[in-house]
């Protein structure tokens, strides 16, 4: 009996699940210290999100160096070090994931925290606070 083709909704759920699985695998590898690189080993790195393409061939991992990573370790340094170790990480992800095709990894720094800080600063601005107070009174 042939399987019914995936609907668009089921396919997107699969993409999200595979992305989350890749995020867990990368987080485990980084937490365990499996990458033999001085910068990656010294830094505490969080993989905040992994976005997969619909065909599951490419994965973009967004990473952030956490506090305590050392005063000289920046997000750019961490991303550069991870890009140098992409082949090792791709091989490990491919072995643990068990898909027909292993996704090609790309690393980018996560800028969502900076964007959240910017929005928070805008909301604390006196003019915005005044407008919000007027809305609450009405």
pLDDT truncated to tens, each residue of the chain (138 aa)?
Answer: 444 555 556 568 889 999 999 999 999 999 888 888 888 888 888 899 999 998 899 999 999 888 765 556 788 888 999 999 999 999 999 999 988 888 999 999 988 777 777 888 888 888 777 777 766 666
Q: What is the pLDDT of residues 56-96, one digit of tens each?
A: 999 999 998 887 655 567 888 889 999 999 999 999 999 99
Quote the pLDDT of residue 70: 55
Quote the pLDDT of residue 26: 95
Nearest partner of 72 among 48, 38, 106, judged by Cα? 38
Residues in the chain: 138
Helix (H, G, I), strand (E, B) or coil at 59: strand
Architecture of domain 8-110: 2-Layer Sandwich (3.30)
Q: Are 77 and 52 contacting, i.e. CB atoms less than 8 angstroms apart?
A: no
67 Cβ contact list (under 8 Å, min separation 6): 44
Q: Where are the domains of the chain?
A: 8-110
């Amino acid at each position: 009996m042939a399987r019914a083709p995936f609907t668009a909704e089921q396919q997107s759920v699969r993409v999200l699940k595979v992305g989350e699985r890749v995020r867990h695998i990368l987080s485990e590898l980084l937490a365990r210290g499996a990458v033999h690189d001085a910068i990656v080993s010294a830094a505490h790195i969080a993989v905040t999100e992994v976005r997969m393409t619909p065909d599951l061939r490419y994965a973009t991992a967004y990473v952030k160096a956490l506090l305590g990573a050392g005063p000289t370790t920046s997000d750019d340094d961490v991303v550069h070090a991870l890009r140098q170790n992409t082949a090792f990480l791709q091989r490990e992800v491919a072995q643990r994931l068990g898909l027909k095709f292993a996704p090609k990894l790309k690393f980018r720094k996560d800028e969502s925290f900076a964007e959240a800080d910017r929005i928070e600063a805008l909301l604390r601005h006196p003019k915005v606070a005044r407008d919000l107070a007027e809305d609450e009174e009405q």
